[in-house]
């Protein structure tokens, strides 16, 4: 079910209010009209069983609305799926960092699907509601539920501003990252990995380096493996910041442009 890569949010801090020490400094809000590289999802719901082949790791369990452990997913305590009608399913995810309910509904023409997610996160005022749409690129297998098949992400229709805002501060070689959902780290450019503070089930680490006059690259790892590589690239006028996040497991890169917030 959807992982919602756009939910990369930041916590407003005093760094945003001080005179900028670098053009990276400040509060950045992701623009919903600048999305590219949204994922492709592959599901099958048939004979009372839910399967997600595009999930990382893939998962299969009964679509009975009951909690099921997901082997190999360190950030999930359990998931459940229940069939909510001939064109809808409801997925619930419980993890150390969130409690999420996603309703996926297939349109009457069978060509599009809408995902409505409601998140509750520790220490975050909520709930946070996100709306996302996808188009069908492969049909459901014969006899399978309508949500089955292959779905290409089209765009986020609604994401709370709180959930698409970050705060950055770069002072010399010291890079500070703040995330509204409870994550933060401070690292030296070209230094080693440092812990990312946040309600993770397993430790997560980040390292940063400068890869150009206008670009900083961040690498994250967990359980000794690289999980994501993210670049922050300033526009020539310093008014926009492109954030490109690559999933190390799939090689998929999601891009969105952020504008300076107030």
Alpha-carbon distance of 214 to 210, in angstroms, equals: 8
Alpha-carbon distance of 92 to 101, in angstroms, equals: 4
pLDDT of residue 20: 47
- In the block, residue with structure tokens 């998140």: 119
Alpha-carbon distance of 157 to 220, in angstroms, equals: 28
**Distances 7 to 15, 73, 156 between C-alpha atoms, Å:** 21, 19, 10
pLDDT of residue 67: 98
Cβ(9)–Cβ(178) under 8 Å? no
Q: What is the band of 15 on the pLDDT scale with cuts at 50, 70, 90?
A: very low
Of the candidate ranges 2-16, 25-39, 228-242, the one whose mean pLDDT is the lowest: 2-16
- pTM reported for the whole predicted model: 0.84
pLDDT of residue 63: 99
Cβ(184)–Cβ(177) under 8 Å? yes
Q: What is the band of 198 on the pLDDT scale with cuts at 50, 70, 90?
A: confident
Burial of residue 215 (number of CB atoms within 10 Å: 0-12, 13-18, 19+): middle
* Of the candidates 59, 56, 154, 38, the residue with the CA atom closest to the CA atom of residue 107: 154
pLDDT of residue 3: 53
> What residue spans define the domains of the chain?
14-37+162-260, 40-161
Cβ(169)–Cβ(161) under 8 Å? no
Within the chain, residue ranges assigned H as helices are 14-17
* Domain 14-37+162-260 homologous superfamily, CATH: Calycin beta-barrel core domain (2.40.128.20)
pLDDT of residue 14: 32
Beta strands in the chain (DSSP E): 26-30, 40-46, 49-52, 59-62, 78-83, 88-94, 99-106, 112-120, 128-138, 149-158, 165-171, 174-179, 183-188, 194-195, 204-212, 215-222, 225-234, 240-247, 253-260
Q: What is the band of 170 on the pLDDT scale with cuts at 50, 70, 90?
A: very high
Q: What is the band of 193 on the pLDDT scale with cuts at 50, 70, 90?
A: very high
Give me the chain's average pLDDT, please.
91
Residue 128 has pLDDT above 80, yes or no: yes
**Distance spanning both ends of the chain, measured CA to CA:** 34
pLDDT of residue 2: 55
Q: What is the band of 201 on the pLDDT scale with cuts at 50, 70, 90?
A: confident
Share of the chain above pLDDT 70, in %: 92
Output the six-digit token pair for 182: 């409870």
């Amino acid at each position: 079910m959807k992982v919602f890569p756009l939910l990369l949010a930041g916590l407003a801090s005093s760094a945003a209010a001080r005179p900028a020490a670098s053009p990276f400094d400040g509060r950045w809000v992701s623009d919903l009209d600048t999305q590219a590289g949204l994922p492709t999802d592959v599901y099958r719901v048939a004979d009372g069983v839910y399967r997600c082949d595009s999930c990382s790791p893939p998962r299969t369990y009964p679509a009975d609305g009951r909690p099921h452990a997901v082997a190999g997913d360190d950030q999930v305590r359990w998931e459940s799926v229940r069939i909510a009608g001939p064109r809808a399913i409801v997925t619930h995810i419980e993890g150390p960092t969130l409690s999420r309910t996603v309703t996926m509904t297939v349109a009457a023409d069978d060509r599009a699907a809408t995902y409505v997610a409601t998140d509750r996160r520790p220490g975050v005022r909520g709930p946070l509601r996100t709306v996302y749409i996808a188009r069908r690129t492969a049909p459901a297998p014969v006899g399978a539920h309508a949500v089955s098949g292959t779905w290409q992400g089209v765009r986020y229709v609604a994401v709370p501003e709180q959930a698409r805002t970050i705060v950055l501060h770069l002072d010399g070689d010291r890079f500070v990252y703040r995330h509204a959902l409870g994550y933060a780290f401070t690292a030296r450019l070209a230094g080693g990995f440092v812990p990312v503070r946040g309600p993770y089930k397993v430790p997560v680490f980040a390292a940063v380096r400068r890869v150009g006059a206008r670009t900083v690259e961040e690498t994250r790892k967990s359980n000794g493996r690289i999980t994501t590589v993210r670049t922050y690239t300033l526009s020539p006028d310093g008014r926009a910041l492109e954030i490109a996040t690559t999933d190390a497991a799939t090689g998929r890169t999601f891009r969105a442009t952020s504008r300076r917030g107030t």
